[in-house]
Chain A
């Protein structure tokens, strides 16, 4: 089986959106395009309220991804874990569909005896290691996030360290919301390493609104822009995972 490209949006926030489109609707839109959305809720001394918690789960649910609420000290390992888990989930989804075609009924991996499951899992692990990965990181920079931003930066550097250790290529792009003029602002275009963040991240100004929905919508167009450009250069296996979604 050939490895394709896994596309993910990683949303890092600490609460509820209060501006623009419904975030979970935008997450659904992303899923339709084969892009998984993962959400990490960051707490420090504050706690995320019930409403914020629900929204976080709902976005990840609609976006076919993973959500997790953590204290900022645990952010690095969580970012890594969530990204990894979502990759495995996506690949497993693809494999399950293949299995259903072969085995008929609504058979999934779980219905196989453990030994066979082990063999399938080896394929999943192999794909997770060799697939190309594109992660668009969306960071909430509303006022309450201000003092958490250094930790966010460290955890993103750590993520690129982990993902770049894989055999497949990884590329990252970073957006923040709210932006200076618009709802969203691009901080870093597609790049394999996030070192460049070190210079830009501390200078961020934080704003009052939290336009999560519009941020996701904007992020999607960034994926698409890149794809249409790439399309001109003709890429074949790139879209493998999306088509199977």
Chain B
């Protein structure tokens, strides 16, 4: 989205400068800029030796809506999906009132960068986590709305997927107002923008598709057919094919249902991998060790097994041939 320059200028703060609240009088020291969105700039700040994220805006309306969402997030029991809310206040800068709110600072890598570094075997595992969180959110009557890799942060040392931008979060039954075309089912002609659990599940499917491609693509002609072709073209997406198709068509009743299918896909892959002792798909995601070599190349188990036999046979054949040559040489 475009951002006008006045916002940039007004909300621009240099590291070291202090933000003091007009109402609560709390003070925050700017450490650095974390990012800027359509309606404000997010800074990493320090207060009382603790780090927080502070969002400053010149547009009171949208930031207040976001604050309301964050507050209701905090009320969702056991949900660690979004950042927790600390306080909201106003900052007086050269006579102008700039509203801001302070939230938990979620530290980690963004989703795509994490997958790049740790390998694609993490995609499935992190999506399991995400689906669990989404299920909690949905049962509390909310839909996340603007799900995309950029809004997902993987924390460390315990690898946990969290969402940072809650601006798209919408009550079920209302219209989703903040979304990103590529992850929006309305854009692909596969449903409305009315918030329902299926809206988020569509986006989860698109995140999985997106992580197999380095870039994003625009809609050409019929959306469903195009997405199907894109799934077919990438071998690593084949194991997920059935699940992705159901999610794209909105056929899952709940995030839990989709999660179950994903568990099945992942455990199948584990069986086919002979030496993968640490791989579990039971939901204890943190204990899972990443394996650098992926076994997603083949579509089913039997194929994989015969591949293994062939490898063994080849190896034995080569070694015996070398041995025969060696003996032959010795004899001469």
Whether A81 lies near B1 (C-beta < 8 A) is yes
Q: Name B67's closest neighbour in chain A (CB-CB).
A: A118
Residues 169-203 (chain B) with a chain A CB within 8 angstroms? 173-177, 181, 186-187, 192-195
Whether A114 lies near B88 (C-beta < 8 A) is yes
* Cα-based distance from A49 to B325 in the complex (angstroms): 82
Contacts A158-B186, A165-B176 hold; do A114 and B89 have CB atoms under 8 A apart? yes
Can you list, as one digit per residue, whether each of A102-144 has a CB less than 8 Å from chain B (1) or not (0)?
0000000110011101100110110001000000000000000
B-side contacts of A146, CB under 8 Å:
none
Whether B2 lies near A162 (C-beta < 8 A) is no
Whether A129 lies near B174 (C-beta < 8 A) is yes
* Cα-based distance from A54 to B283 in the complex (angstroms): 58
Q: Name B60's closest neighbour in chain A (CB-CB).
A: A110
A-side contacts of B194, CB under 8 Å:
165
* Cα-based distance from A122 to B88 in the complex (angstroms): 15
Residues 44-91 (chain A) with a chain B CB within 8 angstroms? 68, 70, 74, 76-78, 80-81, 84, 88
**Is A206 an interface residue, CB under 8 A from the partner?**
no
Whether B181 lies near A77 (C-beta < 8 A) is yes
Q: Name A122's closest neighbour in chain B (CB-CB).
A: B68
The main secondary structure of chain A at its interface with chain B is helix
> Distance (Å) between the CB of A6 and the closest chain B CB?
14
**Is B51 an interface residue, CB under 8 A from the partner?**
no
Whether A68 lies near B2 (C-beta < 8 A) is yes
Q: Name B23's closest neighbour in chain A (CB-CB).
A: A113
> Distance (Å) between the CB of A198 and the closest chain B CB?
13
* Cα-based distance from A24 to B187 in the complex (angstroms): 34
> Distance (Å) between the CB of B259 and the closest chain A CB?
26
Whether B193 lies near A125 (C-beta < 8 A) is no
* Cα-based distance from A167 to B192 in the complex (angstroms): 12
**Is B71 an interface residue, CB under 8 A from the partner?**
yes
A-side contacts of B87, CB under 8 Å:
114
Whether A165 lies near B181 (C-beta < 8 A) is no
Whether A92 lies near B61 (C-beta < 8 A) is yes
Whether A165 lies near B193 (C-beta < 8 A) is yes
* Cα-based distance from A202 to B65 in the complex (angstroms): 40
Contacts A92-B61, A121-B64, A125-B65 hold; do A164 and B97 have CB atoms under 8 A apart? no
* Cα-based distance from A114 to B195 in the complex (angstroms): 27
* Cα-based distance from A88 to B177 in the complex (angstroms): 12
Whether B65 lies near A121 (C-beta < 8 A) is yes
Can you list, as one digit per residue, whether each of A147-171 has a CB less than 8 Å from chain B (1) or not (0)?
0000000000010011111110000
**Is B99 an interface residue, CB under 8 A from the partner?**
yes
Whether B88 lies near A121 (C-beta < 8 A) is no
> Distance (Å) between the CB of B28 and the closest chain A CB?
15
Which bracket fits the contact residues of B? 20 to 34
Whether A167 lies near B68 (C-beta < 8 A) is no
**Is B90 an interface residue, CB under 8 A from the partner?**
yes
* Cα-based distance from A24 to B193 in the complex (angstroms): 34
User: Which of A70, A113, A124, A158 touches B2 (beta carbons < 8 Å)?
Assistant: A70
Whether B2 lies near A88 (C-beta < 8 A) is no
> Distance (Å) between the CB of B89 and the closest chain A CB?
6
User: Which of A77, A110, A158, A163 touches B1 (beta carbons < 8 Å)?
Assistant: A77
Whether B2 lies near A118 (C-beta < 8 A) is no
* Cα-based distance from A81 to B97 in the complex (angstroms): 24
User: Which of A74, A78, A121, A129 touches B61 (beta carbons < 8 Å)?
Assistant: A121
A-side contacts of B97, CB under 8 Å:
110
Whether A161 lies near B193 (C-beta < 8 A) is yes
User: Which of A70, A109, A122, A162 touches B186 (beta carbons < 8 Å)?
Assistant: A162
A-side contacts of B89, CB under 8 Å:
114
Q: Name A89's closest neighbour in chain B (CB-CB).
A: B61
A-side contacts of B1, CB under 8 Å:
77, 81
* Cα-based distance from A11 to B68 in the complex (angstroms): 33
Q: Name A73's closest neighbour in chain B (CB-CB).
A: B218
Whether B192 lies near A114 (C-beta < 8 A) is no
Whether B175 lies near A114 (C-beta < 8 A) is no
Whether B23 lies near A164 (C-beta < 8 A) is no
Whether B88 lies near A115 (C-beta < 8 A) is yes
Q: Name B186's closest neighbour in chain A (CB-CB).
A: A161
B-side contacts of A124, CB under 8 Å:
61
A-side contacts of B65, CB under 8 Å:
121, 125
Whether B174 lies near A117 (C-beta < 8 A) is no
User: Which of A76, A81, A109, A167 touches B174 (beta carbons < 8 Å)?
Assistant: A167
* Cα-based distance from A113 to B99 in the complex (angstroms): 10
B-side contacts of A164, CB under 8 Å:
192
A-side contacts of B187, CB under 8 Å:
158
* Cα-based distance from A161 to B2 in the complex (angstroms): 22
> Distance (Å) between the CB of B145 and the closest chain A CB?
11
* Cα-based distance from A50 to B294 in the complex (angstroms): 56
Can you list, as one digit per residue, whether each of A185-213 has a CB less than 8 Å from chain B (1) or not (0)?
00000000000000000000000000000
Additional pairs, 8, CB under 8 Å, beyond known A125-B65, A162-B186: A81-B1, A114-B64, A114-B101, A125-B68, A129-B175, A161-B193, A165-B186, A165-B193
Q: Which residue numbers of B lie inside 8 Å of A, CB to CB?
A: 1-2, 23, 38, 60-61, 64-65, 67-68, 71, 87-90, 97, 99, 101, 173-177, 181, 186-187, 192-195
Q: List 12 A-B contacts (CB under 8 A).
A: A80-B177, A81-B1, A110-B60, A115-B88, A118-B67, A125-B65, A125-B68, A129-B174, A161-B192, A162-B175, A162-B177, A166-B174
